[in-house]
Amino acid sequence: MNRLIFLLVLVVASSTAVAAPTSAPVRAEIDVLLTNLQASGCEFSRNGAWYSGAEAKVHLLRKLEYLEGKSTLRSTEQFIELAASSSSFTGQSYQVKCGNTPPVKSQQWLTRELASIRSLSSGGKP
């Protein structure tokens, strides 16, 4: 009987999906990306309102934590696509506006910033 209970507990435990944490290199890259957004002086639009880079970072970190509770992020690009490109509530694209330049979709801005981060970390080598 004890063996049956043990097997039942084992089956239930193994069938419960538990997300593994995002790998350290991916998480570090996301942290640098969001820190760059915060320090950029750019504004971040979500659902029709503009926010500072610092406010955007806080919001996107909350979305990151939510996603990490559901699944494991395999890449920074996946984070950008799933959390930092559009509102989960309205579906509206997020935008980034720097100075007097026209706003661009956050996915475009973040992807370009990610390429810059990677270029710097590789010593400027492609």
How confident is the model over 37-91, as pLDDT tens digits?
A: 999 999 999 999 999 999 999 999 999 999 999 998 999 999 999 999 999 999 9
Q: Is residue 16 part of a domain?
A: no
Q: Is residue 65 part of a domain?
A: yes
* 13 in a structural domain: no
Is residue 105 one of the residues assigned to a domain?
yes
Task: Name the residue among 83, 70, 78, 76 with its Cα closest to residue 44.
Answer: 83
Residue 28 lies in a domain: yes
pLDDT at 126: 57
Count of the separate structural domains present in the chain: 1
1 in a domain, yes or no? no
Question: Alpha-carbon torsion 104, 97, 60, 38, what sign?
Answer: positive
Q: Which residue segment(s) compose the domain that 58 sits in?
A: 21-121
pLDDT at 6: 37
- Does residue 126 belong to any structural domain of this protein? no
Could you tell me if residue 10 is inside a domain? no
Q: The whole model's pTM is what?
A: 0.81
